[in-house]
Structure 1
Amino acid sequence: MNFIDRFYVDFVKDQRWMDLFGGLLNTMTITVFALLIGVALGLLIAIIRTTADRTGKWRIPDFFCRIYLTVIRGTPTMIQLMIFYYCIFVGRFFSGVFVASIAFGLNSAAYVAEIIRSGILSIPAGQMEAGRSLGFNYVETMRYIIMPQAFKNVLPAIFNEFIVLIKETAVAGYVSVRDLTKGADNIRAQTYDAWLPLLAAGLIYLILTMFFTTLEKKLERRLKQGER
C-alpha cells in the first residue's frame, strides 16, 4: 500500500480524522481549565507560604501547603490522574475530561505556586515597607504593589507551564479520555497502521508547542520593553 492509500485509509475513510480533531479539542479543553485551576490554587498557596515566611503567621495552613506540594511534586502525574478517576470521582459518574481537568489542575497548582512564590520573593523587601509607609495594610500592599510586579515577572513562566500542560495531557487516555494521543491510537487500532496516526499526533503537538512558544517569547520581549 503506497502513501496515498495509507493516508486515505488512516484519515479520510470513515472520517477517521475526526478522532484527531475531537482529541485535539479535548486536549485543549483540559489544558485551559487545568491552567485556570492551577493559577487560582497556586496563587493561594504562594500567598500563604510567602506570608508564613515573612510574618510568621499562617503556620498551620503553610504546613498543609508544604505537604500538598511534597505529595503532588513527588508522585507521577499519571498515578494522580488514575487515583482521581478510579478512586475519588469514580469515572462512571463524571466525564473523563472533567476529572482530567481537575487532576491536571491540582498537579499544575503545585508548580505554579512555586513560580508565583519566586516572583513574590523577587520583589525587594523595601516595596513592602514603602506600601506600609503609605498607609496600606499587609493585604493592600500585596494586592496593589507586590502582586502586580510579581505577576509581570512570572507571566512568561506561567505561559510556559501552559505549554508543558499541553504535552502532559497525553496520558489522559489512561482514564478513557479521547485526547489527541488517544485519538491517534484509536485510528491505529482500526487500521493496524501506527506510523501515520502517531506521526500526525506528534506533528500536531509540535505545531502547538512551537506556536505557543513563539507567543511566549513575544510576550517576554514585550514585557522587557515595557521595563525600559
Structure 2
Amino acid sequence: MTIELHTWDTPNGRKISVALEEMELPYDVLPVDIRNKQQFEESFLRISPNNKIPAIVDPDGPDGRPISVFESGAILFYLARKTGKFLPADLRGQTLVMEWLMWQMGGFGPMPGQVHHFRALPDESDRRYGLQRFSAETRRLYGVLDRRLAAGEYVAGAVSIADFAILGWAWRHERHQVDLADYPNVARWYEAMMARPAVQRGFARKLD
C-alpha cells in the first residue's frame, strides 16, 4: 500500500523522500504549501499536531490499521523499523545510529535553519548578530561531523537513517555559506551519498 508523504521542498522533507526511495517504499507526495500557511489547516493538524512538515500516513500500520507519524526523526525511525533497513539489529549499533540522528535533530538542523532565517532578513543590522552567532555554531557542527567521518565512511558504521537525516541539511551547505572543501571528510561523504541512485531519486522527486 502507498504511504502518503505530506511535505514541502525543505531539508526535513528531503530526508523522508530520500529514505522512502532507499527503502523502496511506494509513496505519494501531498504538498503542504508552507508559504501560504497550509501547515495550519485543520486537516494537516490532525496528522501533525505541531503544524510542521513532514508527516506521513501509512495505511498499512504495524497492527494492520493506518498510522500517522510526525517529526522527521520519528518518521525515519518508524520507516526503518517497518522495513528492517538502515537500522542495525543490535542495541550497540542502534544506539550509535540514534546518537547521530539525535545530533542532527538537536543541532544540525536548528542551527543552519537560523542561518537561513537571518540571511533572509532585509535589514542588515537585524541580520548581523544572528548570522554571526548561528553561522559560527553551524561551522562548529560541520567540524564535529568532519571529525566523525574521519573515522569511517558513514556516521554510524553502515549507511543508516542518521545519514539520511544529516544529508537533508548538508544539501543546503551553500545556503549556510559553508564551503565543503573546508571539511574534506564531509565533502567525501556528501559526494558518495549524493551518488546513490535512490538518493538522487529522493532529491529529484517534486515535493512542492
Please say whether Structure 1 and Structure 2 have the same fold, judged by a TM-score greater than 0.5.
Answer: no
Greater per-residue strand proportion:
2
State the TM-score, normalized to the length of structure 2.
0.34
Greater per-residue helix proportion:
1
Q: Which has the larger radius of gyration?
A: 1
